[in-house]
Amino acid sequence: MKKTHLLLAGAAAFAALFGAIGATATSLAAPAKQNAAAASAKNAAGGGEKPQVAFKVEGAGVNRADKGRVTSYADMLARVTPAVVTIYNQQIVRDRAAFDPFEHLFGGPFGRSRGGAPGGQRTVQGLGSGTIIHADGYILTNRHVVSDADASVAKKITVELADKRTFTATVIGSDPRTDIAVLKIEGRNLPVARIADSGALRVGDIVFAVGNPLGVGMTVTSGIVSALGRQTGILNNRREGVAGLENFIQTDAAINPGNSGGPLVDCEGRVVGVNQSISSPNGGNIGIGFAVPTSLAISVAGDLVNDGKVTRGYFGVATQEVDEKLSKDLGLPSLKGALVSEVVEKSPAEKAGIQPGDTIVAVNGETVERPASLTFIVARLKPGAKARVDLYRDGKRKTVTVTVGSRQETATFETLFGGAVEFAELNDTLRERHGIPRAVRTGVVITDLSANSVLAEAGVQPGFVIVAANGRPVSTPDALLEVLRKGQLNRLRLYIPRFRAFRFITIEL
The full DSSP string for 145-163 is: HHS-TT----SEEEEE-TT
Q: Model confidence over 97-120: pLDDT tens digits?
A: 444 544 444 444 323 333 444 445
Q: Which CATH architecture has domain 194-307?
A: Beta Barrel (2.40)
Which SS3 state, helix, strand or coil, does residue 438 take?
A: coil
Q: Which CATH architecture has domain 313-406?
A: Roll (2.30)
pTM exceeding 0.75: no
Is residue 318 packed enough to be buried (19+ CB in 10 Å), middle (13-18) or exposed (0-12)?
middle
Is the pLDDT confidence value at 241 over 70?
no
User: What residues does each domain of the chain span?
Assistant: 78-184, 194-307, 313-406, 411-508
Backbone angles phi, psi at 330, to 5 degrees: -90, -5
Phi-psi sector, 104: left (phi>0), alpha (psi -120 to 50), beta: alpha
User: pLDDT confidence of 5, banded at 50, 70, 90?
Assistant: very low
Closest CA to 204 of 225, 223, 222: 225
Distance CA 142, CA 177 (A): 11
Active site residues: 144, 179, 260
User: pLDDT confidence of 91, banded at 50, 70, 90?
Assistant: low
Is the pLDDT confidence value at 318 over 50?
yes
Q: Do domains 194-307 and 411-508 have the same CATH topology?
A: no
Alpha-helical regions (H) of 81-179: 143-146
Q: What is the pLDDT of residue 234?
A: 84
Q: Model confidence over 473-507: pLDDT tens digits?
A: 998 887 888 888 777 788 899 998 888 889 888 88
Q: Model confidence over 42-75: pLDDT tens digits?
A: 554 555 677 877 666 656 654 656 667 778 899 9
- The CATH homologous superfamily to which domain 411-508 belongs is PDZ domain (2.30.42.10)
**Fold (topology level) of 78-184:** Thrombin, subunit H (2.40.10)
pLDDT above 70: percentage of residues in the chain: 75
